[in-house]
Structure 1
Amino acid sequence: MTGDPICPLCDRPIPEGVPQSRHHLVPRLRGGKGRETVLLHQICHNEIHASLSETDLARAYCTIEALRAHPRLAKFIAWVGKRPADFRSKVPGKRRGRR
């Protein structure tokens, strides 16, 4: 056990020095200011926002379980889960647009 925090989306450790960010389970602009946040790898956080609108996040994807069940995020989780915990995307910004 490394003692590093675990990303709740991909279940991989978040080692020191790896880009990370806090995700509001309910977007701030949709009533989530001051509500629960979770610490994620930056790459995982980017994928959530590339996959879902803030409205979708607030209405149907405001839990880790719901996020993990989303088809596109489930595919991403399977892909990123095969990478080392310190994996970083070489592509700047959003990888692709919402579908």
Structure 2
Amino acid sequence: MALLRTWPALTISTNPGETTFTAAGTAILRLTGPSTAHLHLTRPAIERLHHLLPTPERPSSPTDSGWITLHLTTTTDLELLLALISIAIKAHA
């Protein structure tokens, strides 16, 4: 996640047990462990991407809160997270 520290649109804050990334004043990513990420997309973004999310991360129905949880166990999971962070930044701009 060191790469995210170089993204100019993101601000980082660290608290015990959690690192939070904000964009435009809105928290969009919370890392709560070495393999768990909570990503804040907007409801419309989740609805558009719902069918593309891996089954474990796919909400049964888009939540009003817009948060989804990703389990990061493979390189593909990390690549998906990076792509979704870009979408989250644009969605909250």
TM > 0.5 = no
More strand by share: 2
- Structure with the greater relative contact order (CA < 8 A, sep ≥ 6): 1 or 2? 1
Larger radius of gyration: 1
